[in-house]
Amino acid sequence: MKDCTAIYELAQRLELETPLLTGDLVCAFVGEWNAGKSSLLNALTGVTLPARPTPTTKTLVRLRHIDNDQPKAELTDDNGQQTVLTGTEALEALQRSTEHLAEISVEAPGLEIPPGVVFVDTPGFNDDDQLASTRAATVQADIVVFVLQATGSVINQTQVEIFYLWT
Q: Which domains are seen in the chain, by residue range?
A: 23-166 (3.40.50.300)
Higher pLDDT, 37 or 130: 37
Looking at residue 73, what is its pLDDT? 92
pLDDT more than 70, % of the chain: 70
Backbone angles phi, psi at 40, to 5 degrees: -65, -45
Is pLDDT at 157 greater than 70 in this prediction? no
Local confidence band at 35 (pLDDT 50, 70, 90 cut-offs): confident
* Per-state percent for the chain, helix, strand, coil, to nearest 5: 35, 20, 45
Residues 6 or more apart from 136 whose CB is under 8 A from it? none
Residue 131 predicted with pLDDT over 70: no
The percentage of the chain sitting over the pLDDT mark of 90, rounded to a whole number, equals 14
Task: Please state the pTM of the whole predicted model.
Answer: 0.74
The residues near 112 (Cβ < 8 Å, ≥ 6 apart) are: 44, 45, 46, 65
Lowest pLDDT segment from 39-48, 119-128, 134-143, 155-164? 155-164
- CA-to-CA distance for 150 and 138, rounded, in angstroms? 22
Q: Contact, 29 vs 147, CB < 8 A?
A: yes
> Residue 1: what pLDDT?
42
Q: Identify the residue with better confidence: 114 or 48.
A: 114
Q: Assign 83 a pLDDT band (cuts: 50, 70, 90).
A: very high
Average pLDDT, the chain: 78
pLDDT, greater one: 135 or 31:
31
Is the pLDDT score of 3 beyond 60? no
